[in-house]
């Protein structure tokens, strides 16, 4: 009954806007009346989820040519995972108003920034500048009931995911201490130069959907990460990583850890970024490079990454916060949007992805850029955007990434349809600009495909885990799985 009443109210509002001389409807109303209800009575008992999961199993296939050697670097650490609210309460920190800080200098900064992202249900990562205070917090975290230690750092997590494929040799370079080395998969090769006496620890403060602290309630499960990590912050293993490639002879290189530079200050990261670009330039041109991005707050730093790093890599992976910040830093489309509300609008996401490839990629054959692929992931859906002629098997790749997000978040090896739910729109506009299309997703064919110029987009929904056991590392697993199922179809221009 309430659904009918709501629909009638919205229709009345729409008519009022039209006859009141304002034919442009608010976006929220357009989305509500333009998109189908995802769960109708005829589609109860996980019918949609079951159909999508079955389609994934039928359609996902490895490419005819697969990678046999992958080199991954350069951030690695040990993650200490705890309840965020529980740890802050144990530190005698009281809840209050949220406020974002680019660098954390105190427990108060930690509290305010944690609340800022918890109330949005968004992931973030920050550098903690005070070594002694961080170590006290780290000790409290390690002693907190239920605290768990995991392999951490984007590079190490991506390496771990690659290592689940027995025919794939994996080289990992990064600051690997004794505890991390012990936890790594036996299939991963770590050069002796990457081993160090002490581990780098990152604190992962997790919260559940609906969890409350004071007046703050999390709209969805997520995590907040912080560390005092100088080795990863300086990307000190990068030159060792590049030097090791000659002997290892990889077919694919995966880079991550650039976001850790931010906390070092502009003078330090400015110089180190120049050195990093020079080191990447030494990687043989025939090897494709994937760059995994992570949470950043400094627009100058992001702008430099766009100008200097994106054109020298072949592929990037990123989530909704990173994509929007990239557009804000480069004055791209929808840069005035302060933050996503709910499920990111597919049209806006498509506009920004297209802009990145046109501005910093190789949509123009005469361009000197190497960038031809972007793997975008958000909670409800994933998109792979590729310049035509360089990558194959992308429908399978985007589905494989979504499938691993659905299973891994629930702590399972396969998707259990009773534990997941569909949150993606089954109908959407491909852009906020003309020309654009309205596309529909069919559960039995769960990939929507559209074209913009010479860029092809593949979108698939995610079956979102209702009660996620662990959110850390999902983006890394998604990108790694997407790369495993991707095939390079043209060597040039890499």
Task: Render each residue's pLDDT in the chain as its tens digit; 494 residues.
Answer: 444 444 444 444 444 443 344 333 444 333 333 343 344 433 555 899 999 999 999 999 999 999 999 999 999 999 999 999 999 999 999 999 999 999 999 999 999 999 999 999 999 989 999 999 998 999 899 889 999 999 999 999 999 999 999 999 999 999 999 999 999 999 999 999 999 998 888 999 999 999 999 999 999 999 999 999 877 777 888 999 999 999 999 999 999 999 888 877 788 888 899 999 999 999 998 899 999 999 888 999 999 999 999 999 999 999 999 999 999 999 999 999 999 999 999 999 999 999 999 999 999 999 999 999 999 999 999 999 999 999 999 999 999 999 999 999 999 999 999 999 999 999 999 999 999 999 999 999 999 999 999 999 999 999 999 999 877 789 999 999 999 999 999 755 54
Residue 102 maps to a domain: no
Q: Would you say 395 and 59 are in contact if contact means Cβ atoms under 8 Å apart? A: yes
For the annotated catalytic residues, the residue numbers are: 476
In a domain, 274, yes or no: yes
For residue 295, being part of any structural domain is answered with yes
Domain assignment of residue 99, yes or no: no
Question: Could you give the residue ranges of the DSSP H alpha helices within 225-265?
Answer: 230-233, 238-248
| CB 289 within 8 Å of CB 107 | no
Residue 388 resides in a domain: yes
3-state class percentages of the chain: helix first, strand second, coil last, to nearest 5 = 40, 20, 40
CA distance 404 to 312: 28
CATH number of the domain to which 441 belongs = 3.40.1190.20
In a domain, 250, yes or no: yes
Other beta carbons within 10 Å of 365 = 10
Does residue 224 lie within any of the structural domains?
no
Tell me how many domains the chain contains. Answer: 1
Which domain range does residue 73 map to? Answer: 55-78+152-199+229-488
Instruction: Flag whether 332 is in a domain.
Output: yes
């Amino acid at each position: 009954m309430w659904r009918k009443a709501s629909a009638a109210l919205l229709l009345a509002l729409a008519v009022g806007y039209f006859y009141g001389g304002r034919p442009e409807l608010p976006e929220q109303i357009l989305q509500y009346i333009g998109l189908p209800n995802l769960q109708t009575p005829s589609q109860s008992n996980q019918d949609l989820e079951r159909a999508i999961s079955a389609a994934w199993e039928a359609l996902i296939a490895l490419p005819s040519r697969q990678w046999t050697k992958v080199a991954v670097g350069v951030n690695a650490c040990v993650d200490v995972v705890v309840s965020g609210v529980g740890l802050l309460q144990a530190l005698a920190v009281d809840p209050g108003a949220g406020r974002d800080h680019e660098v954390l200098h105190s427990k108060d900064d930690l509290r305010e920034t944690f609340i800022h992202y918890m109330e949005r249900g968004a992931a973030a990562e920050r550098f903690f500048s005070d070594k002694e205070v961080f170590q006290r917090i780290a000790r409290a975290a390690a002693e907190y009931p239920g605290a768990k230690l995991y392999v951490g750092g984007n590079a190490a997590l991506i390496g771990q995911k690659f290592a689940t494929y027995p025919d794939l040799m994996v080289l990992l370079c990064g600051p690997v201490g004794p505890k991390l080395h012990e936890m790594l998969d036996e299939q991963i090769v770590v050069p002796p130069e990457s081993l160090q006496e002490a581990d780098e620890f990152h604190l992962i403060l997790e919260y559940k959907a609906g969890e409350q602290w004071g007046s703050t309630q999390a709209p969805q499960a997520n995590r907040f990460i912080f560390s005092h990590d100088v080795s990863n912050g300086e990307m000190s293993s990068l030159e060792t990583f590049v030097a090791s490639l000659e002997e290892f002879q990889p077919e694919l290189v995966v880079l991550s850890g650039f976001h850790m530079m931010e906390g070092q200050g502009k003078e330090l990261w400015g110089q180190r970024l120049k050195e990093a670009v020079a080191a990447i330039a030494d990687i043989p041109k025939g090897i494709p490079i994937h760059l995994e991005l992570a949470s950043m707050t400094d627009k100058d730093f992001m702008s430099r990454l766009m100008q200097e790093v994106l054109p020298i890599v072949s592929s990037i992976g990123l989530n909704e916060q990173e994509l929007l910040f990239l557009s804000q830093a480069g004055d791209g489309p929808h840069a005035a949007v302060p933050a996503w509300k709910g499920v990111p609008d597919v049209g806006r996401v498509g506009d920004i992805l297209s802009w990145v490839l046109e501005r910093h990629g190789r949509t123009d054959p005469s361009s000197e850029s190497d960038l031809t692929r972007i793997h975008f992931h958000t909670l409800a859906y994933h998109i792979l955007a590729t310049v035509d002629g360089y990558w194959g098997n992308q429908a399978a790749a985007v589905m494989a990434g979504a499938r691993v997000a659905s299973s891994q978040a629930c702590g399972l090896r396969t998707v259990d349809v009773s534990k997941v739910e569909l949150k993606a729109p089954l109908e959407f506009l491909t852009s906020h600009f003309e020309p654009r299309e309205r596309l529909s997703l069919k559960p039995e064919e769960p990939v929507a495909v559209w074209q913009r110029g010479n860029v092809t987009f593949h979108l698939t929904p995610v079956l979102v885990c209702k009660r996620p056991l662990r959110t850390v590392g999902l983006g890394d697993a998604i990108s790694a799985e997407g790369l495993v199922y991707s095939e390079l179809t043209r060597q040039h221009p890499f």
